[in-house]
Amino acid sequence: MPAHDGTRPHASTETLAVLLAHPAGHSLSPRMHDAAFSALGMRGRYEAWDVPPQDLPEALERVRAQAGLLGANVSVPHKLAVVEFLDALADDARTIGAVNTVVRREGGLFGHNTDVSGLAAALGELARPPEPGRAVVLGAGGAARAAVAVLLRFGCSVLVHNRGVRRAEALVEAASGAGDVRVVSAGELDSAVAEADWLVNTTPIGMQGGPAGSPLPAGVLPERGTVVDLIYRPRLTPLLAAAQAAGLPTQDGLPMLLHQGAASFALWTGRDAPVAVMREALESALDEGRAR
């Protein structure tokens, strides 16, 4: 597959962007992107398409063929599988082997990974600036690949834990040329987490809340490190609640959702995303959900 040079499409009459995910109904991306289109005076809209894995090729053909469609975001469970159906990949997507943004131009589909820049920008919002150290990443999907890439760029040594060991091994193999990264077994996980300067949860465990909704056993936390959970609904997951109770710095998934979305918007439209407007739309949607 040829490399993609990242050239932005020209903003024109294209007015639609979509999310390809399964499930898709929980996503706040439509609120964020519709607010961005409105703020810039663009006649655009964003739709969430629920696409089971077996329907992904058909959905991508619809993206390819539909007039007025700028492109797509790609979320769970498609970030790895989508790669084989695209015409070219930008450098970040090619390096980590995962795509979360597809740009449609002249019938071609070009894959990008704005999760990488999105997470880097999100971590940049923390009071403690990102710095080298020891990191543990929970999960081995597309978001985990982006997290590993970002942490390696910060100069961290990274341990990856996933219930499916083969998937974790595949991630480590893909990232091994970029720095010190290896798989951590279940038996080593407690001590690895205790010593971590960074703990990043990329799994969906915690999305439903409740005392059993943590990806780690009770009491297993870093002694001094920062805990990041990429789940944004609920914003306070069981993992983050435990970390906050222990006095640890934390970050929920909203900043990454915001910044990866802003980068996607810029790729589709060729215009700077109105980040403040997008953040306000996300926070408003989450506030409405809590009020129900």
Active site residues: 79
Q: Is 266 exposed, middle or buried (0-12, 13-18, 19+ CB in 10 A)?
A: middle
Q: Is 38 exposed, middle or buried (0-12, 13-18, 19+ CB in 10 A)?
A: middle
User: DSSP letter string over the chain?
Assistant: --B---PPPPPSS--EEEEEESS-TT--HHHHHHHHHHHTT---EEEEEE--GGGHHHHHHHHHH-TTEEEEEE-TT-TTGGGGG-SEE-HHHHHHT--SEEEEETTEEEEE-HHHHHHHHHHTTSSS---S-EEEEE--SHHHHHHHHHHHHTT-EEEEE-SSHHHHHHHHHHHGGGSSEEE--HHHHHHHHHT-SEEEE-SSTTTT-STT--SS-TT---SS-EEEE---SSSS-HHHHHHHHTT--EE-SHHHHHHHHHHHHHHHHSS---HHHHHHHHHHHHHHHHH-
Which residues partner with 69 through β-bridges?
A: 16
